[in-house]
């Protein structure tokens, strides 16, 4: 690893740079927020689509076959589910703390 201040090659377990004595930032063990958000978005997408296709027969009777309206609304429900899941994931991720 290199020091970001003076570009000296340092060991991974050094707490400070041996040349400029600047401390290295501590490595975080938390996952980046985007990974946590994407899991929630995927789960909400699957749940939203499951509910949509379970209850879509109320608005689109089964005798009509596959209609473009049914598929278009499935896309709308999927997009809204992903947005809600992403927002929920952002809320659950919390603020990044610098340790």
Kindly report, residue by residue over 35-65, the tens digit of the pLDDT: 666 788 888 999 999 998 888 888 877 776 6
Is residue 3 within 8 Å of 17, Cβ to Cβ? yes
Mean pLDDT to the nearest integer, 5-15: 82
Within 5-94, residue ranges assigned H as helices are 33-55, 68-93
Long-range contacts (CB closer than 8 Å, 24 or more residues apart) made by 21-28: 26/99, 28/99
Measured at the CA of 7, the angle between CA 14 and CA 33, to 5 degrees, comes to 70
Q: Is the pTM of this model over 0.75?
A: no
Q: Are 89 and 38 in contact (CB under 8 A)?
A: yes
């Amino acid at each position: 690893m290199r020091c970001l201040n003076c570009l000296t090659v340092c060991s991974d377990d050094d707490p400070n740079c041996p040349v400029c004595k600047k401390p290295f930032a501590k490595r975080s063990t938390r996952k980046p927020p985007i990974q946590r958000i994407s899991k929630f978005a995927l789960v909400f997408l699957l749940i939203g689509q499951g509910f949509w296709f379970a209850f879509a027969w109320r608005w689109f009777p089964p005798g009509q076959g596959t209609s473009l309206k049914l598929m278009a609304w499935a896309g709308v429900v999927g997009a809204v589910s992903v947005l809600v899941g992403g927002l929920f994931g952002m809320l659950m991720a919390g603020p990044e703390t610098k340790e």
